[in-house]
Amino acid sequence: MSVNTVKVAGRELALSNLEKDLYPSYGFTKARVLEYYGRIAPVLLPHLRDRALTLKRYPDGADAEYFFEKRCPAGRPAWLKTAEIPYGSKKKLTACLVNDLQTLLWVENLASLELHVPLARAATPGKPDSVVFDLDPGDGAGLRDCVKVALMLKGLFDGMKLFSCVKTSGKKGLHVFVPLNTAADFGKTKAFSKAVAGVLQKSYPALVTAQMAKELRKGRVFINWSQNDAAKTMVAVYSLRAGPVPTVSFPLAWKELQGLNGPAAPAELQVTPAEAVARAQGDLFRDLLVKKQELPYL
């Protein structure tokens, strides 16, 4: 196994197996994964900061076995920041906090292609900073249908004077966020998202479902409101997604969204354009972290 030692912010990191192809059907080595995360770090890190990371590791590449790891892996360097988070009803576990570039690269050296984080920070695990609507197309539905639903959500939130933003899941879905950054709890955000999903389902039964049952959601978009939960994580904005092609969960301006009409993942979700767009426009998701809003009627 080849090992390269690099120095990042005064910390020595041993990066191994850099030539390993982590997206073998496309051709994207571990070196390239590290390079991507290094380049995207300025916009990505604020979204990971102080949140308990769930690693999704693909040691043999994106088309082989993977596993989730909530626990910060053993063998971590002493300088790596961690947090004790509740696990199950009684136990606790130690999770990684990715607050700096050296931690991000250390995590990526473990081939955690995808980065998943909770909606709350580790210090306040019951207090989400945002509400999320995870739009998941059922069989026979596609990104185009998700776009329709996302625009409906935006219309609804606009009517309530709530700012919202959207990113691609990096796969077939979309994630719509309403930033809060005020004292909310998951009980409230879940009730809100469930009510919104219910109303949309009632108004557009042929397009939207709030029901998880696969058999009852053919051709429709499932608004997964249950992601608003302390025990759940969402794929972080700018995270890579595992698949045949390296795609990115990427933020979009609302007006860009209407252009997304293709049947599958559009080209702009891929790595190289993502790097360039992020460099040119900065963090389109910055408002998610700073905009202060309150949920009405709750």
Residues that bind other proteins (CB under 8 A): 24-26, 63-68, 88-89, 126, 134, 136, 139, 152, 155-156, 159-160, 169, 171, 173, 175, 185-188, 190-192, 194-196, 198-200, 202-203, 210-216, 224, 226, 229-231, 235, 243-245, 263-264, 296-298
Return the amino acid letter for 2. Answer: S
Would you state the structure tokens that stand for residue 182, as one six-digit string?
């005020």
Distance CA 98, CA 278 (A): 20
Nearest distance, CB of residue 248 and other proteins, angstroms: 14
User: In this complex, which beta carbon is closest to other proteins, that of residue 100 or of residue 173?
Assistant: 173
Cα first-last separation, the chain:
56
Nearest distance, CB of residue 43 and other proteins, angstroms: 21
Distance CA 237, CA 38 (A): 15
User: In this complex, which beta carbon is closest to other proteins, that of residue 3 or of residue 216?
Assistant: 216
User: In this complex, which beta carbon is closest to other proteins, that of residue 12 or of residue 60?
Assistant: 60
Nearest distance, CB of residue 178 and other proteins, angstroms: 13
Question: Which run of H or of E encompasses 94?
Answer: strand 91-96
Residue whose token pair is 């933003």: 165
Would you state the structure tokens that stand for residue 156, as one six-digit string?
């609804």
- Nearest C-alpha neighbor of 259 from the set 163, 182, 151: 151
User: In this complex, which beta carbon is closest to other proteins, that of residue 44 or of residue 135?
Assistant: 135
Nearest distance, CB of residue 94 and other proteins, angstroms: 16
Nearest distance, CB of residue 240 and other proteins, angstroms: 14
Residue whose token pair is 């990715």: 98
Nearest distance, CB of residue 106 and other proteins, angstroms: 20
Angle between helices 271-281 and 30-48 (to 10 degrees): 40
User: In this complex, which beta carbon is closest to other proteins, that of residue 103 or of residue 201?
Assistant: 201
DSSP strand pairing (208-209 vs 11-16): unpaired
Nearest distance, CB of residue 148 and other proteins, angstroms: 12
User: In this complex, which beta carbon is closest to other proteins, that of residue 198 or of residue 273?
Assistant: 198
- Nearest C-alpha neighbor of 3 from the set 39, 40, 31: 31
Distance CA 158, CA 147 (A): 16
CB 229 within 8 A of CB 187: no
User: In this complex, which beta carbon is closest to other proteins, that of residue 37 or of residue 66?
Assistant: 66
Cα–Cα distances (Å) from 251 to 95, 158, 237, in that order, read 26, 19, 7
User: In this complex, which beta carbon is closest to other proteins, that of residue 126 or of residue 282?
Assistant: 126
3-state secondary structure of 133: strand
Nearest distance, CB of residue 133 and other proteins, angstroms: 12
